[in-house]
C-alpha cells in the first residue's frame, strides 16, 4: 500500500531532528521517560481526585500538567522516530521488529502490574475488612494509564543512540 499525505506528514514530524539534542543520549532519554512518568502519575492522580474528591485544586493540577506532558510525549515519540505512532507501511523491517519487541515487553510489564494490583487490592480488602468499591476504580484508572503509556516508556528506554559518521565527528 502506498503512503498517504498523512503518512508522509507524520513521518516528517516524527523524524524532525531539530530537538534531537534533548534526547540524543541514553541518560537524557531516561530523564525524559522519568519526567513523563512523573507527569503521568501526577496528572492521572489529579484526574482521579477531580472525580472522587471535592474542590477545584485537582482540576488546576491537571491543567498545569497537561502542556508539559504533551511536550514530553512528543519528545519521546521523536526520540523513537515515531516507532509507535507511524503506520506499519512507513516503518522498515528493523523498526517493525523493534515495535513488536517493545509492545511485547510493555505487555509483560503491564501484566505483572495488573497481577500486583489485584493481589494488593485483595490483600487490602482482607486485612482491613474495608469495602473495595472506592479503591478499585482509582486503581483501574491508574493501571489503564500505565497500560496506555508503557509502550512509549519502554520504547524511550530501549532506543539506541544515533550512529555518528566519522566525517561528522571531525
| Residue 50, in any domain of the structure | yes
Res. 146: pLDDT tops 80: yes
Please tell me which residue, 46 or 170, carries the higher pLDDT value: 46
| Residue 170, in any domain of the structure | no
Please tell me which residue, 50 or 52, carries the higher pLDDT value: 50
Q: 168 vs 16, 47, 144, CA distance in Å?
A: 18, 47, 44
Residue 157 has what pLDDT? 96
| Residue 87, in any domain of the structure | no
The boundaries of the domain holding residue 146 are 5-81+92-165
Question: Which one, of 110, 114, 95, lies nearest residue 155 by Cα?
Answer: 95
Res. 145: pLDDT tops 90: yes
| Residue 76, in any domain of the structure | yes
| Residue 86, in any domain of the structure | no
- Which tens digit of pLDDT belongs to each residue from 76-133? 999 999 999 999 999 999 999 999 999 999 999 999 999 999 898 888 888 887 777 7
Q: Where does residue 82 fall: left (phi above 0), alpha (psi -120 to 50 degrees), or beta otherwise?
A: left
Q: In this structure, are residues 61 and 46 in contact, taking their beta carbons and an 8 Å threshold?
A: yes
- What's the mean per-residue pLDDT of the chain? 90
**Percent of the chain residues past pLDDT 70, beyond the cut:** 95
Total of domains in the chain: 1
Cell of 87: 503506520
Query: Looking at residues 136-148, what average pLDDT do you find?
Result: 91
**Percent of the chain residues past pLDDT 90, beyond the cut:** 70
Please tell me which residue, 74 or 132, carries the higher pLDDT value: 74
The model carries a pTM of: 0.87
Residue 46 confidence class, pLDDT cut points 50, 70, 90: very high
Amino acid at each position: 500500500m502506498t503512503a498517504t499525505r498523512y503518512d508522509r506528514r507524520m513521518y516528517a514530524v516524527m523524524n524532525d531532528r531539530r530537538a534531537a539534542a534533548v534526547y540524543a543520549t541514553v541518560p537524557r532519554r531516561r530523564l525524559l521517560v522519568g519526567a513523563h512518568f512523573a507527569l503521568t502519575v501526577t496528572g492521572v492522580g489529579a484526574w482521579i481526585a477531580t472525580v472522587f474528591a471535592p474542590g477545584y485544586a485537582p482540576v488546576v493540577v491537571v491543567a498545569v500538567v497537561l502542556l508539559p506532558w504533551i511536550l514530553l510525549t512528543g519528545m519521546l515519540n521523536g526520540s523513537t522516530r515515531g516507532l509507535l505512532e507511524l503506520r506499519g507501511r512507513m516503518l522498515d523491517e528493523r523498526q517493525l521488529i523493534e515495535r513488536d519487541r517493545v509492545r511485547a515487553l510493555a505487555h509483560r510489564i503491564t501484566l505483572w502490574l495488573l497481577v500486583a494490583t489485584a493481589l494488593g487490592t485483595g490483600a487490602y480488602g482482607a486485612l482491613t475488612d474495608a469495602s473495595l468499591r472506592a479503591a478499585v476504580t482509582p486503581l483501574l484508572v491508574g493501571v489503564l494509564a500505565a497500560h496506555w503509556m508503557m509502550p512509549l516508556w519502554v520504547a524511550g528506554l530501549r532506543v539506541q543512540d544515533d550512529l555518528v559518521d566519522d566525517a561528522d565527528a571531525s
